Amino acid sequence: MSFWDFLRPITQTAWEINLAAESLAMLLSLGILVISLLAYRKTKSKRLLLVSAAFLFFAIKWILKVADQIISPGFFFSRASEAVAELIILALLFYAIFKK
């Protein structure tokens, strides 16, 4: 018995609800994208535009992850692609925070 065996039931449960969890994350990211775009339209803040762009990439990432689960379970949206998307999101948020 290894040290990590206690995590096996949790991991199995996570795999069972994976599509539902990813779908919920996709819907939430799309909702936050819409809210941030509405806020940008009201304020015209360049920082808010950058935050909206970050949420756009976040929504695209989750759309691709859900499509990957439905179309070809885990074959076309690789971990490397996900890492690049997250790097873009973090860069946009970083720039929005520190832009003068």
Instruction: Give the pLDDT confidence score for residue 1 in this predicted structure.
Output: 67
Which residue, 89, 92, 79, 18, is CA-closest to 59? 89
Instruction: Give the pLDDT confidence score for residue 79 in this predicted structure.
Output: 85
- 26-75 confidence digits (pLDDT tens): 999 999 999 999 999 999 999 999 999 999 999 999 999 899 888 887 67
SS3 label, residue 73:
coil
Question: What is the average pLDDT score of the chain?
Answer: 90
Q: What length does the chain have?
A: 100
The model carries a pTM of: 0.81
